[in-house]
């Protein structure tokens, strides 16, 4: 069985602060994929990034960066110089060959960026 | 613009009534999914369909039913057998079965309240 843990239920920061959202996963699969999705107040989830288990390179996209570490089974997400528009619920998700690539979501982290 | 349309955005029903949530996509995607989201919880998979006229139960299918008669449509019926139907329901689609590998596209959701 696979599992995703987002220990931070809610985080509140002031605009321009950096913030890291934690994601720890459990899986027995050798081949698996990790995702981050953003859910703004409008409700729909928006895909942010995907990482496969064979690619541990960190990735940066503008103010967003992701740190994938297989040694600690973590896939953390950092927002640099946060903005009010970053306020949303962020979900980490995992899929693997053992689950026929069905997604398992964490419970999400509500990020509030205050002006 | 291509996307997923869920209607209505808010739905109110009396206990004991069946209710059908609509999901339409014009992305020409083969696979479609229904997820349930409860406050402070991750997304849980109700049903999914990888191709027209075929669908499979997800992790919490009891009390729900679906049909997939057309590629673009995947309605979800919440039956009176669902013990706790009040929730936020999200429909998603992917190009094919690789939604757990590539990415899912989500609709804006329907918030169902049963009293």
Question: In chain A, which residue's Cα lies nearest the Cα of B98?
Answer: A101
| pLDDT tens track for B4-55 | 999 999 999 999 999 999 999 999 999 999 999 998 888 999 999 999 999 9
- Whole-angstrom Cα distance, residue B104 to residue B61? 20
Task: Quickly state the pLDDT bin for A57 (edges 50, 70, 90).
Answer: confident
Taking CB atoms and an 8 Å limit, are A43 and B100 in contact across chains? Answer: no
Q: How many CB pairs under 8 A join A and B?
A: 60
Chain B's closest residue to A100, CA to CA, is B100
SS3 of chain B: helix, strand, coil, percent, to 5: 5, 50, 45
Is residue A98 within 8 Å of residue B41, measured between CB atoms? no
- Residue-wise pLDDT for A77-107, tens only, equals 999 999 999 999 999 999 998 888 889 999 9
Computed on alpha carbons and rounded to an integer, the radius of gyration of chain B in Å comes to 13
More confident residue, A56 or B86: B86
Cβ contact B42–A105 (<8 Å): yes
How many residues make up chain A in this entry? 115
Q: Which of B29, B36, B42, B97 to mutate to test the interface with A (most CBs of A within 10 A)?
A: B42
CB contact under 8 A, A47 and B41: no
Q: Is A41 on the interface with B (CB under 8 A)?
A: no
Residues paired with residue B24 on neighbouring β-strands, in sequence order = B5, B73
A95 to B48: CB separation less than 8 angstroms, yes or no: no
CA–CA min distance B51, chain A (Å): 15
């Amino acid at each position: 069985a696979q599992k995703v843990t987002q220990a931070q239920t809610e985080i509140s920061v002031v605009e321009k602060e950096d913030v890291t959202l934690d994601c720890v996963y459990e899986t027995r699969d050798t081949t698996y994929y990790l995702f981050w999705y953003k859910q703004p107040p409008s409700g729909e989830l928006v895909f942010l990034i995907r990482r496969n288990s064979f690619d541990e390179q960190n990735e940066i996209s503008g103010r967003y960066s992701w740190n994938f570490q297989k040694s600690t089974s973590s896939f953390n997400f950092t927002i640099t110089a946060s903005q009010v528009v970053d306020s949303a619920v962020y979900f980490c998700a995992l899929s693997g060959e053992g689950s026929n690539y069905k997604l398992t979501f964490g419970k999400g982290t509500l990020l509030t960026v205050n002006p | 613009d291509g996307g997923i349309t869920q209607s209505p955005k808010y739905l109110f029903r009396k206990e004991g009534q069946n209710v059908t949530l609509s999901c339409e996509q014009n992305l020409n995607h083969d696979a479609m999914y229904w997820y349930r989201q409860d406050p402070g919880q991750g997304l849980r998979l109700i049903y999914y369909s990888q191709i027209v006229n075929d669908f499979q139960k997800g992790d919490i299918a009891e009390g729900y039913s679906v049909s997939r008669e057309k590629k673009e449509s995947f309605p979800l019926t919440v039956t009176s057998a669902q013990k706790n139907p009040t929730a936020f329901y999200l429909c998603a689609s992917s190009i094919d079965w690789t939604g757990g590998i590539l990415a899912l596209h989500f609709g804006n959701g329907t918030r169902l309240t049963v009293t």
